[in-house]
Amino acid sequence: MSLSSAGPSPQEGSSTCPGTPEGTTPAAGGPPTCAGVAPELVRSVLERIGDKWSVIVICRLGPEPRRFNELRRLVDGITQRMLTATLRGLERDGLVTRSVFPTVPLRVEYALTDSGRTLLDVVQALVGWAGANAETVHVARTEFDRRAREQPQPVGAG
Amino acid sequence: MSLSSAGPSPQEGSSTCPGTPEGTTPAAGGPPTCAGVAPELVRSVLERIGDKWSVIVICRLGPEPRRFNELRRLVDGITQRMLTATLRGLERDGLVTRSVFPTVPLRVEYALTDSGRTLLDVVQALVGWAGANAETVHVARTEFDRRAREQPQPVGAG
DNA sequence: CTGCATCCACAGGGATACTG
DNA sequence: CAGTATCCCTGTGGATGCAG
């Protein structure tokens, strides 16, 4: 299996988030932080929500519990392998619960936990940002991309 | 160069974010959305903030403009190649500006743009969540990991 | 229906050497 | 100091086949 962060990385820190990192340059001798949290921890979250499917799955689990193939249809382009892996990772982090119903065709339902719901809130903020800045980013990207084809050769441009 | 999303993907959508996707199962014939936004777009953002370095760099650029090697020291484990690539990607998306000072040793400063600052805000919420749930996630992860070594062989366990 | 194991292709990302 | 190009390893994730 080749999931992300499979090894033990016990770097919990103080779990405090003051939120006032005003130019304190803590990197010079102290532990490099983002907003009072170690980047290792940030990395951990990013790896979880940035693995291409976790966020979408979390959003789909928002309203109500979902069955495996139900999620599979909802997520659209996801493969069985990835859905399983994503769900397992989310379950491992205590973000979703896995309920097995020993019926004949076998039924498994997934639902967000309390922690998962709090993450959903943050994730939706991210999605909201994406929606609000989609056009801006697209324009900037196009501009940059276009300009990158004119700047490269300042010599002989005239 | 092997940056992410180098190809043109003009799927901007309506850039609207109602936030009320109540069980409407839009996947059956309609465009799969997360909170009113297409997953393609979400993917785009996630690829940007989930690429292992972007978030940390954005946070470091939060307070004030930074020079190249200054950032390099602040981010800690980043390589020159990755810092350049990350900065370029951020610049491409209009999230950061690149100012060149043609001095003798040559000086380049990077700073967040307006869009970058709004993303910083969202990102910090994410970092905040990471800090607040670090311990909880770590515990859940340990529990799950430990339980995974006992469940696999229910047969012959008694 | 749900899930795991294997094979395989591609892209992200690290180390290093070179240029301006 | 700042940046680019090359080499190469690894993880991520897709396709498929098998099992409970």
List the single range of A35-44, A51-60, B94-103 with lowest mean pLDDT.
Answer: A35-44
Kindly report, residue by residue over A70-95, the tens digit of the pLDDT: 999 999 889 999 999 999 999 999 99
Cβ of A108 < 7 Å from strand C? Answer: yes
B44 and A CB contact within 8 Å = yes
State pTM to two decimals: 0.79
CA of B51 to C1' of D7 (A): 22
How many Å lie between the alpha carbon of B142 and the closest alpha carbon of chain A?
8
Kindly report, residue by residue over A36-49, the tens digit of the pLDDT: 677 677 788 888 88
B31 and A CB contact within 8 Å = no
Cβ of A4 < 7 Å from strand C? Answer: no
Domains in chain B with CATH codes: 38-147 (1.10.10.10)
**pLDDT for residue A138 is more than 50:** yes
Q: What is the mean pLDDT of residues A54-66?
A: 92
Give me the pLDDT at residue A149, please: 77
The percentage of residues in chain A with a pLDDT greater than 70, rounded to a whole number, is 71
Cβ of A99 < 7 Å from strand C? Answer: no
Residues in chain A with CB shorter than 8 Å from the CB of B138 are: 10, 12
Q: What is the mean pLDDT of residues A83-108?
A: 95
Residues in chain B with CB shorter than 8 Å from the CB of A141 are: 92-94
Residue of B nearest to A18 (CA): B128
Categorize the per-residue pLDDT at A27 as very low, low, confident or very high, splitting at 50, 70 and 90: very low
Check CB contact under 8 Å for A52 and B43.
yes
How many Å lie between the alpha carbon of B131 and the closest alpha carbon of chain A?
5
| Strand residues in chain A grouped as ranges (E) | 66-67, 96-101, 107-112
Averaged confidence pLDDT in chain A = 77
3-state secondary structure chain A: CCCCCCCCCCCCCCCCCCCCCCCCCCCCCCCCCCCCCCHHHHHHHHHHHCCCCHHHHHHHHCCCCEEHHHHHHHHCCCCHHHHHHHHHHHHHCCCEEEEEECCCCCEEEEEECHHHHHHHHHHHHHHHHHHHHHHHHHHHHHHHHHHCCCCCCCCCCC
Q: With a CB-CB cutoff of 8 Å, which residues 72-111 of chain B face chain A?
A: 73-76, 91-95
**pLDDT for residue A156 is more than 60:** no
Categorize the per-residue pLDDT at A35 as very low, low, confident or very high, splitting at 50, 70 and 90: low
The candidate with the shortest Cα–Cα distance to B118, out of B45, B26, B23, B21, is: B45
A-to-B residue pairs, Cβ atoms closer than 8 angstroms: 223
